Amino acid sequence: MTTPPAQRIPTEDPAAKPRVVLLSPSRGLGGGIERYLGTVEEHLRAGGADVRRFDLRTSPASLTARIRGQYVLRTLASLYRMGQADSVVAGHASLALVAWAGARLVRASRVPVLFYGSDIWGGGQAQRRVVTRARLLYPVTISSFSAGALAVLGPARILPPSVPPRWRTMLLAEAAQRRPPAGMPTVLTVFRLGVWQSKGLSDLVEAVTAAQATTGPVRLVVAGQGPAPSALREFVAGHDNVELHESPDDAALARLYGAADVFALCTRTRATSPASGEGYGIVLMEAQLAGCAVVGPAVGGSRDAYLDGVTGRTPVDESPAALAEVLRELLDDRARLTQIGEAGTTWARAATDPAGYTRLVMATLTGAVPGTPVTANAPGAAAPVTTGKSGK
């Protein structure tokens, strides 16, 4: 499946501003997809796009057929009154049919549909058929791994996650003021606390416990957007040297990144219900910006988020024994660990360059490439985006 070629437009010409409709599954509820779309929206605006956003959910109430139906009617009614738009972005594959109908109302020429991870390999056949058969729709995803999984739909464009510029600055500041390693090394993991089991926390605790046989005591810090389930609290309370930080604010989370020796994300990939998997893992990028060496999941798209063997390590499989071996390798050589963290900061700083990301977002979702350079701090006028407290 091919997409329309990019057109170069002068960003200073108001008449040439691309009009973009962004259909989002949620706002204000946390989670990796919401953070991803918030950053994308910020960079669309920085690139000169006029963005109208429609959120399916704005409260933690269960998503019912009635709520979904009201959203569809409300969104299509607004688009009917809106006039013409250039692009209608389906922020999740479940919104592809709404995006297709909305594009017909606003006469949009592009309808990118965003895919992330478990929504690809865990089901959603009907959603994928919509993208395959509906004219104008084309797949966009977050990593080369996910693009390969979408090959049946045609060539997918890759738009990896990035880090909001203000949050990026806070993390780089932590890297700049890193202190010498403390006596007891710290391993940090960050994810949305409600999905702690699929994020492999029990395996991580087992691996840290095994690694301590040679490294000595290790402190494990678990942080993320809450509320924390009671089962998680009981699990943490039953293990020594394990701390739980529920819903830390940006400053507190940045300090946790800055104080950690190793960041570990060990999401478990499951194709059966309930499906799980890591399409990218933006928290890995956040950790590297703060100068922390990373350990990524054995399976999935996270290898796009770090340089295996240079800024981090990857276990050979999803077993606690394989994870423990990687942790021992890193924690046994603290001087080398510091060098890996410094390399991570250098790489992540370049990989998250705001100006470059703005150009990529504009080209991928609107077909328009800003004709004038975008300053590195251009994304900033939009409202703050909830940062990496949740993972996906």
Tell the burial category of 369 from Cβ atoms under 10 Å away from its Cβ (0-12, 13-18, 19+): middle
Residues 132 and 175 in one domain: no
- Beta partners for residue 113, in sequence order: 90, 139
Residue 375 counted as domain residue: no
Q: How does residue 36 score in pLDDT terms, banded at 50, 70 and 90?
A: very high
C-alpha 366/C-alpha 247 separation (Å) is 35
b/e sequence 323-344, b meaning 16+ C-beta within 10 Å: bbbbbbebbeeeeebbebbbbb
Residues 328 and 363 in one domain: no
Residue 178 counted as domain residue: yes
Domain count across the chain:
2
How much is the mean pLDDT over the chain?
87
Residues 34 and 171 in one domain: no
Tens-place pLDDT, residues 208-233: 999 999 999 999 999 998 999 999 99
Mean pLDDT of 109-136: 74
Residue 84 counted as domain residue: yes
Tens-place pLDDT, residues 241-273: 999 999 999 999 999 999 999 999 999 988 777
Mean pLDDT of 297-311: 94
The pLDDT, as a whole number, for residue 151 is 83
C-alpha 287/C-alpha 174 separation (Å) is 10
Of 26-30, 295-299, 300-304, 367-371, the poorest mean pLDDT is in 367-371
The pLDDT, as a whole number, for residue 126 is 59
Residue 382 counted as domain residue: no
Residues 157 and 180 in one domain: no
Tens-place pLDDT, residues 309-318: 999 999 999 9
The pLDDT, as a whole number, for residue 3 is 42
The pLDDT, as a whole number, for residue 2 is 41
Question: In sequence order, what are the residues at sequence separation of 6 or more whose Cβ sits closer than 8 angstroms to the Cβ of residue 388?
Answer: 35, 163, 167, 190, 253, 282, 283, 286
Residues 134 and 192 in one domain: no
Residues 109 and 177 in one domain: no
Residues 288 and 338 in one domain: yes
> Does the pLDDT at position 196 exceed 90?
yes
- We report the CATH number of the domain holding residue 51 as 3.40.50.2000
Tell me the residue range of the domain where 126 lies: 7-162+353-370
Residues 259 and 331 in one domain: yes
